[in-house]
């Protein structure tokens, strides 16, 4: 099979915060994988820009260590060295003048210019302003910004306004790495590339949708930040909301950035406010080898949630009557992210009550073991009458397509290549982010006003009892976290 890797145009990518955790763990190892795959052109230039006083060689050594830790294994040394030779470094002060003329001098004519803001959001305005005052950013240059994109609607608006002073919307790439996952994109292919699903994709046939993002880790190392945020801001407002949009959106007229994002925005705007009765918050307790949430964040009175579960509805023709259940939490039984689209039972069972109740479910699994399965009901093989069982039909593409398809790129590497290509389809638009905050703000404000205290839950379990009740009350149940 012919290689599917299409090299991108020559580019200069500046990583502000090039010595930080994200750059070391995700961005540079991701670029390294694309280099190995042959997607980076020979003269691509990657420039780390941060406060530390490295020279180019010192930075290469520093990044070599990160590639060793977080990059692909068993790469021949000459390949690693070839990648590192394309790396440069500028010691820069985002808030001052230091380093900016050096950076300007390193930019090359005719290269796509992309600037990754892998720094605290408080620096975004300073970076945007200096990129312009030093004539480094051109009208077709791109900036990449990370979450958190604001803390609430007000701060997100202000951040959007700050960036808009220097960059137009088509230059701004707001990353949500969930959108870069292979399976998330495959979800769109399955929905809009097949006749099979779309006619059933509505409240007449779909009983409910459940979206789970479960983590086994606690807030380790991020306690200070996390305690000012919580699961609603850190996960629901962005990642879970994006997944919900892709499940619920109308088919866009074409697969282009604004057509897709217009449809996602309509979903967010059609979301009902969440009733306090349909909301559960939790905080994890201690386990034999880990402290509880409050000890972790060193705040014995913390009322921040490390878990949230909720039920919401989308008020439009397609979805009226189908609830969407969302849950996410830390220190749960397993690291598992999946979307389950659960269909209704058949209107009448010809096999009688002893056949039990069966529902088809389309399971889109993001991690671990990315893939899509469809639970179908069949006859249990063998003699003994008509006993029904549910079995998964595996649509895991990598296996079906064979080894020629190669390694599936990770979310960051795919998204960075999209930035260079100038494709914004998998990035959040400013109005989408604001609409998502407009929906989450009243929930968070309600917790603050009522001084709501999160329910404790067992570390290593599946969340607070109340979250199970949220489903049980509706005669439904969460899929097991495993
Ligand atoms: P970090 O604290 O590890 O690194 C911060 C970087 O910013 C360093 O390179 C530092 O030199 C640079 N910096 C700080 N002040 C500067 C200044 N005045 N001038 C120039 N450079 C300056 O942070 P991180 O974990 O890499 O996170 C970076 C951004 O990405 C943050 O906005 C964070 O919220 C976001 N993010 C990080 C992760 C992650 O996994 N680390 C995940 C999602 C989002």
pLDDT digits (tens), the chain, 482 positions: 445 788 899 999 999 999 999 999 999 999 999 999 999 998 999 999 999 999 999 999 999 999 999 999 999 999 999 999 999 999 999 999 999 999 999 999 999 999 999 999 999 999 999 999 999 999 999 999 999 999 999 999 999 999 999 999 999 999 999 999 988 888 999 999 999 999 999 999 999 999 999 999 999 888 899 999 999 999 999 999 999 999 999 999 999 999 999 999 999 999 999 999 999 999 999 988 889 999 999 999 999 999 999 999 999 999 999 999 999 999 999 999 999 999 999 999 899 888 888 999 999 999 888 889 999 999 999 887 888 999 999 887 556 665 555 566 789 999 999 999 999 999 999 999 999 999 999 999 999 999 999 999 999 999 999 999 999 999 999 999 98
Ligand 1 atom 21, closest CA:
50
DSSP run (H or E) holding 447: helix 430-449
Long-range contacts of 104-110 (CB under 8 A, 24+ apart): 104/134, 104/135, 104/136, 106/12, 106/45, 106/47, 107/12, 107/136, 108/10, 108/12, 108/43, 108/45, 110/10
Distance CA 377, CA 357 (A): 10
Tokens of 177: 């790495």
For the Cβ of 151 lying below 6 angstroms from any atom of ligand 1, the answer is: no
Q: All domains of the chain, ordered by start, with CATH? A: 11-146 (3.40.50.720), 179-410+430-472 (3.30.360.10)
The DSSP bridge pattern shows strands 45-50 and 172-174 to be unpaired
**Distance of CA 327 to CAs 30, 230, 336, 464, Å?**
29, 13, 11, 11
Selection from 309, 313, 310, 278 nearest residue 203 by Cα: 313
Distance CA 110, CA 234 (A): 38
Selection from 438, 351, 364, 435 nearest residue 397 by Cα: 364
Residues 6+ apart with CB under 8 A from 179: 185, 242, 411, 415, 426, 427, 428
Q: For residue 118, report the distance from its CA to the centre of ligand 1, in Å.
A: 5
User: Do 30 and 21 contact (CB within 8 A), yes or no?
Assistant: no
Distance CA 295, CA 283 (A): 11
CA of 93, closest atom in ligand 1: 19
For the Cβ of 27 lying below 6 angstroms from any atom of ligand 1, the answer is: no
| CA 10 to centroid of chain Cα atoms | 27
The DSSP bridge pattern shows strands 307-312 and 206-214 to be unpaired
For the Cβ of 411 lying below 6 angstroms from any atom of ligand 1, the answer is: no
CA of 52, closest atom in ligand 1: 11
User: Do 144 and 173 contact (CB within 8 A), yes or no?
Assistant: yes
For the Cβ of 150 lying below 6 angstroms from any atom of ligand 1, the answer is: no
Q: Output b/e per residue, 173-204; b: 16+ Cβ within 10 A.
A: bbbbbbbbbbbbbbbbebbeeeeeeeeebbbe
Selection from 320, 330, 360, 312 nearest residue 211 by Cα: 312
Angle 456-458-464 from CA coordinates, rounded to 5°: 55
Distance CA 56, CA 65 (A): 15
User: Do 231 and 239 contact (CB within 8 A), yes or no?
Assistant: no
Selection from 357, 162, 58, 217 nearest residue 145 by Cα: 162
**pLDDT for position 221:** 82
Catalytic residue annotation: 239
**pLDDT for position 288:** 87
Strand partners, 332: 461
For the Cβ of 452 lying below 6 angstroms from any atom of ligand 1, the answer is: no
**pLDDT for position 407:** 63
Strand partners, 324: 209, 312
Ligand 1 atom 2, closest CA:
20
Distance CA 185, CA 260 (A): 12
Selection from 44, 66, 62, 40 nearest residue 52 by Cα: 62
Selection from 321, 364, 396 nearest residue 479 by Cα: 364
Pocket test residue of 20, 51, 215 for ligand 1, highest count of atoms within 8 A of CB: 20
CA of 18, closest atom in ligand 1: 9
User: Do 319 and 203 contact (CB within 8 A), yes or no?
Assistant: yes
**What is the reported pTM?**
0.95
For the Cβ of 373 lying below 6 angstroms from any atom of ligand 1, the answer is: no
Tokens of 37: 């795959």
Q: Residue 38: left if φ>0, alpha if ψ -120 to 50, beta else—which one?
A: left
């Amino acid at each position: 099979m012919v290689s599917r890797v299409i090299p991108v145009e020559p580019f200069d990518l500046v990583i502000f915060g090039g010595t930080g955790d994200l750059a070391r763990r995700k961005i540079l190892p991701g670029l390294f994988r694309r280099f190995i795959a042959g997607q980076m052109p020979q003269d691509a230039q990657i420039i780390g820009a941060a406060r530390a006083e490295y020279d180019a060689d010192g930075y290469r050594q520093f990044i070599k260590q990160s590639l060793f830790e977080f990059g692909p294994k068993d790469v021949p040394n000459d390949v690693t060295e070839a990648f590192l030779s394309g790396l440069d470094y500028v010691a820069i002060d985002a808030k001052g003048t230091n380093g900016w003329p050096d950076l300007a001098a390193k930019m090359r004519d005719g290269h796509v210019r992309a600037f990754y803001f892998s720094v605290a959001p408080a620096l975004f305005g300073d970076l945007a302003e200096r990129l312009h005052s030093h004539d480094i950013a051109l009208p077709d240059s791109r900036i990449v910004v990370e979450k958190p994109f604001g803390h609430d609607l007000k701060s997100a608006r202000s951040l959007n306004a700050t960036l808009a002073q220097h960059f137009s919307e088509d230059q701004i790439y707001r990353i949500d790495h969930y959108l870069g996952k292979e399976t998330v994109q495959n979800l769109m292919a399955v929905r809009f590339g097949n006749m099979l699903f779309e006619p059933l994709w509505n409240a007449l046939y779909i009983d409910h949708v459940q979206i789970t993002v479960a983590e086994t880790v606690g807030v380790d190392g991020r306690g200070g930040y996390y305690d000012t945020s919580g699961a609603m801001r850190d996960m629901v407002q962005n990642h879970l909301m994006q997944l919900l949009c892709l499940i619920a959106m109308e088919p866009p007229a074409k697969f282009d950035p604004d057509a897709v994002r217009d449809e996602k925005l309509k979903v967010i705007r059609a979301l009902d406010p969440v009733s306090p009765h349909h909301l559960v918050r939790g905080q994890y307790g201690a386990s034999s080898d880990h402290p509880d949430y409050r000890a972790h964040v060193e705040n014995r009175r913390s009322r921040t949630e490390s878990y949230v579960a909720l039920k919401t509805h989308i008020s439009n023709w397609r979805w009226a009557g189908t609830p969407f259940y969302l849950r996410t939490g830390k220190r749960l039984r397993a690291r598992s992210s999946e979307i389950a689209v659960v269909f209704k039972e058949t209107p009448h069972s010809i096999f009688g009550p002893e056949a039990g109740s069966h529902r088809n479910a389309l399971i889109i699994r993001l991690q671990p073991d990315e893939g899509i399965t469809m639970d179908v009901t069949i006859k249990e093989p063998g003699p003994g009458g008509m006993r029904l069982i549910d079995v998964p039909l595996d649509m895991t593409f990598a296996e079906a397509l064979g080894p020629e398809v190669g390694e599936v790129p990770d979310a960051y590497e795919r998204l960075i290549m999209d930035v260079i290509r100038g494709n914004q389809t998998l990035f959040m638009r400013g109005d989408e982010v604001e609409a998502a905050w407009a929906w989450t703000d009243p929930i968070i404000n309600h917790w603050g006003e009522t001084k709501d205290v999160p329910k404790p839950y067992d570390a290593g379990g599946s969340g607070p009892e109340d979250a199970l009740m949220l489903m049980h009350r509706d005669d439904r149940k969460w899929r097991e976290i495993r």
